[in-house]
């Protein structure tokens, strides 16, 4: 066997076809695998053209049927899951950019997906195992029903969604950088078998390997090889206590954090051994190596306080760390550790350190409230450490850096506007939504604090998620303009002003407001007792409470400096692109469902779909299943009937030209497909009543 390092570009170009043999399992990557690959790719793309990422090996064997002429067929003995995933991603990029960058789309076809001068199935650079071929060929050939519900279709729609999320209209080259990272910056070891090798035996041996060494294992071995006379003492007094206080995964993260805190904002967690080895090679002797391990031990002690705030001895700082822990986002770890190091060194007292951590918390909470996606947040907070440099990481300095260009630190006005219109219930993750509501409740500062840890509080919709006749009649009295009660309900139901916390969610259910008032009035939460003081609960009350909660939020979470960009934040269309990219072939949704998910109204949704090139726009119909009379293809030269396109994709229509209600995706289903954190069981339970 012959091994050599290569790139995907070198592997896929030329007249070579890669065939996955029968004994390989079908394509099986799940969401977690796709997310990890995508995060690695985004990191490489963000780090510039010189960055690289080791993806693993691909073991190939020449097909026994090869001849000197024609396409050379290689059997993929190992690595087919990675190779298939990357090919699906290239296919998704091609389709994403086709309207805006036809040249890049053609390049992907010609260089990576097709063998230009071949015929039949030999035209396809990759042929998955037989079970996956029909789905894969549909993607390649852009068949109407491509991107279905199987694993290949799921992966394709995942990549269409994340591409829509990272596509910055202000940066025309961002998707090109992703394509370049995939084809030129992923390092792959190509292992080519000899024609006489037993291919199946190679496959068996590759799937009976032992547990690989972790990055931390490799680093530890390297360090103690550099300590020939002091290894036992340093291991017993420094490394062993460090190792026992953290899991392997936490230890690897600590070693990565050490790189970030040194100013390396391009450090990746999958290459920490190589990066640290290069850095530590500059240390000259055992004394320096031992000192570095001692310093890492000190950082491990502080890092454990970030991970387990109860281990922090100072009560003020302990509360600040506990709040960040409840936010449940690993992106805060670099700046949190930097602040703790400054506090331990005497550069910040406990109150100053807590204020600094509150600014970081505020940056994350405000972005969530206004609906800014998490893409890029990790990069911003990593860069924050580098941009602070030697400055004391206090609240003022952190605020200054986070208020810089393209950081998107929402202003007070951004928050006030978003609270009234944004769909808060499907923003962020469940623990983060609960965190915001808990902090708002704690700000009432009543004498008997609620035991949040012991109580089983969930988010309550005061105006219920599904309309009963009583609630519909109430909204009918309040509607203005052309809004129906259902449309007014969709505008209000998931906004912050209509949400609270309760342990009686199932008991409250869809009861009328009078019945809910009795339960809310006896609540231990001040926000619920405040709601119970209202005589009725309609649009005016929900918006009034939203405005009051916005002002309370502005007091809790400090805003950016005056240098922050005041341009209105408009995440709705960004989210709509993501949502529509997830609709599989053979399914459709309605304008009102899309509007509910993104926190808008169906009229601007329809206007946007008719004026901007958006994936799957033709899969959005009226709630009845009719094509809207106002529907227009964004391409003015296109005149075909969207029903014809939908039928080819698998949507059924009745004699009146209405799409099958069974194939409609509801707002809840759309949100789940788009990976929004939706409480699906609760929503389905309410809708069944």
Residue 487 has pLDDT above 90, yes or no: no
Residues 490, 596 contacting (CB under 8 angstroms): yes
Mean pLDDT of the chain: 87
Does residue 688 form part of some domain? no
Residue 224's pLDDT band, with cuts at 50, 70 and 90, is confident
Q: What percent of the chain has pLDDT over 90?
A: 48
- Residue 480 and residue 551 in one domain: yes
Does residue 566 form part of some domain? no
Domain count, the chain: 4
- Residue 426 and residue 507 in one domain: yes
Residue 211's pLDDT band, with cuts at 50, 70 and 90, is low
Continuous H helices in 535-658: 539-556, 572-581, 591-598, 602-611, 642-649
- End-of-domain residue from the set 154, 188, 207: 207
Residue 71 DSSP code: P
Give the Cβ contact number of residue 688 at 10 Å. Answer: 7
The Cα–Cα gap between 200 and 421 comes to 59
- Residue 527 and residue 583 in one domain: no
Residue 627's pLDDT is 94
- Containing domain of residue 257, as a range? 215-406
The token pair that represents 56 in the structure block: 């693993």
The Cα–Cα gap between 636 and 570 comes to 26
Residue 209's pLDDT band, with cuts at 50, 70 and 90, is very low
Residue 97's pLDDT is 92
Q: What angle do CA 561, 562, 566 make, to 5 degrees?
A: 110
- Residue 136 and residue 237 in one domain: no
Indicate left, alpha or beta for 167 from its phi (over 0: left) and psi (-120 to 50: alpha): beta
Residues 215, 268 contacting (CB under 8 angstroms): no
- Residue 526 and residue 603 in one domain: no
The Cα–Cα gap between 104 and 98 comes to 8
Residue 620 DSSP code: E
Does residue 444 form part of some domain? yes
Does residue 564 form part of some domain? no
Residue 294's pLDDT band, with cuts at 50, 70 and 90, is very high
Does residue 337 form part of some domain? yes
Write out pLDDT tens, residues 78-129. Answer: 889 999 999 999 999 999 999 888 999 999 999 999 998 888 889 999 999 8
Write out pLDDT tens, residues 610-652. Answer: 888 888 999 999 999 999 998 988 888 888 999 999 999 999 9
Does residue 682 form part of some domain? no
Residue 682's pLDDT band, with cuts at 50, 70 and 90, is very low
Tell me which residue has tokens 């004699």: 655
- Residue 174 and residue 272 in one domain: no
- Residue 148 and residue 239 in one domain: no
DSSP string, 392-415: ---HHHHHHHHTSTT-----HHHH
- Residue 611 and residue 592 in one domain: yes
Poorest-confidence range of 59-63, 167-171, 382-386? 167-171
The Cα–Cα gap between 482 and 301 comes to 61
Bridge partners, 54 (sequence order): 187
Residues 182, 41 contacting (CB under 8 angstroms): yes
Residue 348's pLDDT is 97
Does residue 509 form part of some domain? yes
- End-of-domain residue from the set 207, 225, 255: 207
- Residue 118 and residue 141 in one domain: yes
Write out pLDDT tens, residues 550-580. Answer: 999 999 999 999 988 787 677 788 889 989 9
Residue 508 has pLDDT above 70, yes or no: no
Residue 195's pLDDT is 63
- Residue 303 and residue 188 in one domain: no
- Residue 340 and residue 463 in one domain: no
Does residue 463 form part of some domain? yes
- End-of-domain residue from the set 153, 173, 207: 207
Residue 7's pLDDT is 92
- Residue 539 and residue 581 in one domain: no
């Amino acid at each position: 066997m012959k091994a050599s390092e290569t790139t995907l570009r070198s592997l896929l170009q030329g007249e070579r076809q890669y065939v996955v043999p029968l004994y390989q399992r079908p394509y099986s990557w799940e969401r977690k695998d796709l997310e990890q690959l995508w995060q690695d790719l985004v990191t490489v793309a963000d780090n510039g053209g010189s960055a690289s990422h080791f993806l693993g090996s691909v073991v190939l064997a020449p097909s026994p049927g090869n001849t000197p002429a024609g396409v050379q067929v290689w059997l993929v003995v190992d690595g087919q899951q990675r190779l298939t995933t990357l090919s699906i991603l290239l296919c998704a990029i091609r389709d994403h950019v086709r309207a805006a960058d036809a040249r890049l789309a053609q390049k992907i076809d010609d260089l990576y997906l097709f063998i230009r001068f071949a015929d039949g199935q030999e035209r396809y650079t990759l042929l998955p195992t037989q079970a996956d071929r029909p789905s894969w060929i549909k993607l390649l050939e852009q068949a109407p029903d491509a991107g279905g519900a199987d694993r290949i279709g799921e992966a394709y729609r995942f990549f269409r969604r994340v591409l829509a999320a990272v596509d910055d209209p202000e940066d025309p080259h961002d998707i090109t950088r992703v394509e370049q990272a995939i084809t030129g910056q992923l390092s792959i070891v190509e292992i080519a078998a000899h024609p006489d090798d037993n291919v199946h035996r190679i496959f068996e041996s590759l799937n009976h390997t032992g547990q690989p060494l972790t990055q931390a294992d490799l680093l530890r071995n390297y360090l103690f090889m550099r300590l020939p006379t002091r290894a036992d003492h340093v291991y017993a007094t420094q490394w062993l206590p460090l190792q026992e206080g953290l899991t392997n995964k936490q230890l690897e993260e600590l070693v990565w954090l050490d790189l970030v805190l040194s100013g390396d904002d391009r450090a990746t967690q999958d290459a920490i051994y190589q990066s640290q080895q290069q850095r530590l090679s500059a240390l000259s002797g055992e004394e320096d190596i031992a000192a570095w391990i001692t310093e890492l031990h000190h950082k491990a002690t502080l890092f454990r306080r970030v991970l387990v705030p109860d281990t922090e001895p100072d009560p003020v700082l302990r509360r600040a760390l506990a709040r960040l822990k409840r936010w449940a986002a690993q992106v805060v770890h670099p700046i949190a550790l930097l602040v703790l190091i400054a506090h331990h060194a005497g550069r910040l007292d406990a109150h100053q350190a807590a204020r600094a951590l509150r600014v970081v918390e505020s940056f994350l909470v405000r972005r969530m409230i206004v609906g800014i996606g998490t893409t890029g947040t990790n990069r911003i907070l990593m860069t924050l450490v580098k941009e602070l440099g030697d400055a004391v990481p206090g609240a003022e300095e952190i605020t200054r850096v986070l208020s810089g260009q393209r950081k998107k630190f929402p202003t007070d006005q951004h928050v006030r506007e978003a609270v009234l219109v944004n769909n808060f219930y499907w923003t962020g993750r469940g623990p983060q939504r609960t965190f915001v509501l808990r902090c708002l409740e704690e700000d009432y500062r009543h004498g008997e604090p609620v035991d949040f840890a012991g109580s089983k509080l969930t988010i309550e919709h005061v105006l219920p998620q599904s309309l009963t006749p009583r609630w519909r009649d109430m909204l009918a009295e309040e509607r203005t303009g052309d809004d129906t009660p259902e449309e007014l309900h969709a505008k209000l139901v998931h906004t912050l002003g209509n949400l609270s916390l309760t342990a009686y969610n199932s008991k409250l259910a869809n009861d009328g407001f009078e019945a809910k008032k009795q339960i809310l009035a006896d609540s231990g939460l001040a926000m619920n007792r405040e709601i119970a003081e209202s005589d009725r609960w309609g649009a005016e009350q929900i918006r009034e409470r939203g405005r009051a909660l916005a002002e309370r939020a502005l007091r809790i979470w400090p805003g950016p400096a005056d240098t922050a960009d005041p341009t209105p934040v408009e995440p709705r269309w960004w989210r709509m692109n993501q949502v529509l990219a997830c609709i599989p072939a053979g399914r459709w949704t309605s304008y009102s469902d899309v509007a509910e998910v993104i926190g808008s109204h169906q009229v601007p949704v329809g206007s946007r779909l008719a004026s901007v090139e958006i994936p799957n726009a033709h899969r959005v119909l009226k709630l009845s299943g009719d094509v809207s009379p106002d529907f227009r293809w964004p391409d003015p030269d296109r005149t075909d009937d969207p029903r014809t396109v939908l039928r080819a994709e698998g949507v059924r229509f009745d004699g009146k030209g209405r799409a099958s209600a069974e194939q409609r995706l509801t707002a809840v289903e759309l949100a789940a497909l788009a990976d929004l954190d939706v409480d699906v069981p609760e929503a389905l339970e309410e809708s069944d009543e």
